[in-house]
Amino acid sequence: MTVDSAADLMNTGDSAYDDYMNASAITILTVKASYLSVPVIATTSVLPLTKSATVSNLPDGDYLFTISRTGFLVRDMSVTVANNSIELGNKPLLAGDVFADGIIDGSDSESLFSKIGFSFGDPDYLVDLDLNLDGIIDGTDSETLLANLGADVGFYNESVNYYN
């Protein structure tokens, strides 16, 4: 599985900035038996260089795969594993869900607009609002959010039953 919107590994030469961004912008893949099931079967990071993730030793069966990254809309997928093998292809995420409430809406844009102009190192800088991870919350981030305004977790629902 690849995730195009997984963060690239930062290597700007500023180790404090790189370390902070690399720790903050991790894309996570979580596997559960179903949406409402409590135990998590597996959790792994999406590798920033290849934008891929691997989960090994899953018995054949049906699972819920969740891809998440701070500031982005969570993506859930129903997946059937057969013969311990699946290839999901590219699974992009939508940027802008800075409240992590499952919808990109006015609350997200209000939060982002209130921090326009702040950059890495400022006390009011929030990496969740720096959607392109360039170290400054600016018009590029707001354009990205506004392009996805109105999208919610159902936007790219892939046969997920949210009631079991």
pLDDT at 50: 84
Neighbours of 95 (CB within 10 A): 21
Per-residue model confidence as pLDDT tens digits over 23-67: 888 999 999 999 999 899 999 998 888 888 888 888 888 999 999
- Classified as helix, coil or strand, 110 is helix
Contact 67, 156 (CB under 8 A): no
- Strands (E) across 1-56 are located at 28-32, 40-45
- CB burial string 6-15: b at 16+ within 10 A, e below: bbeebeeeee
Residue 69 pLDDT > 80, yes or no? yes
Predicted confidence (pLDDT) per residue in 104-130, tens digit: 999 999 999 999 999 999 999 999 899
Run of H or E residues at 24: helix 15-24
Question: pLDDT value at position 7?
Answer: 83
All domains in the chain, ordered by first residue: 15-156 (2.60.40.4130)
Give CA torsion, residues 37, 38, 40, 41, to 10 deg.
-50
The listed range with the strongest mean pLDDT (83-87, 130-134, 136-140) is 136-140
**What does the pLDDT read at residue 158?**
83
The pLDDT value recorded for residue 75 is: 92
